[in-house]
Amino acid sequence: MSFFSRLNPRNWFRGPLTEATAQDIYGTPVSDAEFNYWNNRPLTPIWGPELFQDKLQTVRTLQELNRLRHVSRFLYERNPNASGGINGMGRYTIGTGSAQEVQSTDPDAEAPESLSKAILALLDEFKKACCWRIVEREIYRRYLTDGECFIQLTPMDDGITAMRFIEPDAIVPPSGESFEGPWSWGILTDRDRPGVPVAYNVRDYSTNTERRVPAQFVHHLKRGSNLNQKRGLPALTACIDELQGGQKLRHASREGEKIRASIAYVRQHAQAPVGAIQSLQSANAAGTYSVATQNGTHDITYQLIEPGTVQDIPEGLEYQPPPPSPNSEAAAMSVRLSLEATAAALECPYWLISGDSTASSYASSLTAESPFIKLVEGEQGVLAEYVDAVLTAVIEIAAEQERDNIPMDVLDQIDLHVNYTVPVVRQKLEEAQRNEILRLAKIKSPQTISAEEGLDYEKEQANFTAAGPSPEEQAAELAAKQPQTAGGQMKRDQGGDS
């Protein structure tokens, strides 16, 4: 192919698709002579990953992905800022949990009432069996800490679909298959549709066995990667160094301050012989303990000083206060900058990572148009689509098992809608008035309003029926039964027959 033919876009995609090689990713390495030549040229900046391969953090193998995921899990479990950020994102995104609404596939018709009740009963049965409220939070936590979440659904003889999480470490290429072939990253895909999984290979390390699960039974949610990339990246990937560095600096500052605070005072001896100092230490010693060093065992003499203790200093000794912190302000600022970088990586407010409620306005972060609320809405949309796919698969399995009141063509009649409540600072009166206007205009249904409030519309209607009419409704009903003519009203006022 000539040079000019390469410029023709029609020739760019000819030939079979192949896995990218290290040379494709990093470029062609340069020799030392070429590096020195270009580096010594004046005003010529050198850019490009081929010069700094050891500095790159690109994840190219399963081992690198597993190591990155394990570091992310360690930070979530051991780093308070990482744990607070992940849990805080979960609280605002999940809230009280998702609400499901059964809608008709025909936009101009209502879903059959009996079928809707049967589907909601089926989903309630499934949720109760798998502790769905806990599962829903774990889905999002795995999504952030692991970068992906695998759920497998299995039809059971009792009619209740079983659900289990598949650990990301268990998704590996089958034994004997190439790590760069169709089964790369443990997921089989079509060459023409690399973003659509066909099957997953799941390895059981306890029995050292493998099973290939069709993609229709595995629901994979990933983040932080492109569509053609088969696996996801943890949310903490971009801020691992910041979290680790900030934690180390905070630990060093805390330990240093603890040591300095442990020193009651310093005695300065004015031209006192060593023997006199050792005699004074022995007289005030509370005990000794041994410390192993490279040069053998060393005995440490310590003294206990209780609050309110008065020390007598003989002539020749001078009291000195404990050493102050050398640069605590700089250390605190460095930790703050690391936490700000972490908040930027997670796209959340600084107070959610640092726990400092005075750092910024809490209310302004939760207004409807704030960047954080827009992020939460986007996360809720992704999660709602995933939950919708899982619960729809549960309905499909029930239809194939010929469950009562669940016909085979159920998905041709109804569509499941999943939504979450957006955590904004609510003006409840204004919102209620707006909902009433939209309801009267037939733009927003009572079912949708009930779902946004986190309530079950059918249960609330049953509660109203069981409670009976309210006093206002009874008064309105009584007034409707009275004659409304002026003559009838005059006779009642005069005490006559009406």
**Are residues 416 and 388 in contact, defined by beta-carbon separation less than 8 angstroms?**
yes
Q: Which residues have C-beta within 8 Å of that of residue 473, sequence separation ≥ 6?
A: none
Helix 240-262 to helix 62-78 angle (10° resolution) is 40
Phi/psi class of residue 304: alpha, beta or left (left: φ > 0; alpha: ψ in -120 to 50)?
Answer: beta
pLDDT at 279: 73
- Both tokens of 347, joined, read 């796209």
From first to last of its 498 residues, what are the pLDDT tens digits of the chain? 444 444 444 444 444 444 445 444 444 444 455 445 444 544 444 444 444 444 444 678 888 899 999 999 999 999 999 999 999 999 989 988 898 989 998 888 888 889 999 999 999 999 999 999 999 999 999 999 999 999 999 998 888 899 999 999 999 999 888 777 888 899 998 888 888 899 999 999 889 899 999 998 999 999 988 888 899 999 998 888 888 888 888 887 877 777 677 666 666 666 666 676 667 677 777 888 888 887 888 887 777 767 666 666 666 666 667 667 777 788 888 888 888 888 888 888 888 888 877 656 665 666 666 788 888 899 999 999 999 999 999 999 999 988 888 899 989 998 999 988 877 655 667 778 888 898 888 888 888 888 777 788 888 888 888 887 777 777 777 766 665 555 555 555 555 554
Burial of 414 (0-12, 13-18, 19+ CB in 10 A): buried
pLDDT at 309: 64
Instruction: Quickly list H helices, 401-456.
Output: 410-413, 428-440, 446-452
Q: Which residues have C-beta within 8 Å of that of residue 277, sequence separation ≥ 6?
A: 269
pLDDT at 30: 45
Q: Look up tokens 């499934």; give the residue.
A: 126
pLDDT at 127: 94
pLDDT at 308: 63
**Are residues 361 and 367 in contact, defined by beta-carbon separation less than 8 angstroms?**
no
From the CB of residue 429, how many other CB atoms can be counted at a distance below 10 Å?
8
Q: What is the DSSP string of 7-62?
A: T-GGGTT-S---PPPHHHHH-PPPPHHHHHHHHHSTT-----GGG-GGG-----SH
Radius of gyration of the chain (CA): 35
pLDDT at 24: 45
**Are residues 253 and 327 in contact, defined by beta-carbon separation less than 8 angstroms?**
no
How distant is the alpha carbon of residue 467 from its chain centre?
41
Of 164, 331, 174, 315, nearest to 246 by C-alpha is 331
Q: Phi and psi at residue 276, in whole multiples of 5°?
A: -65, -40
Q: 365-403: b or e for each residue (b if 16 or more CB lie within 10 Å)?
A: bbeeebebbebbeebbeebbebbbebbbbbbbbbbeeeb
Whole-model pTM: value is: 0.66
Strands (E) located in 143-242: 148-154, 162-166, 187-190, 193-204, 209-214, 218-222
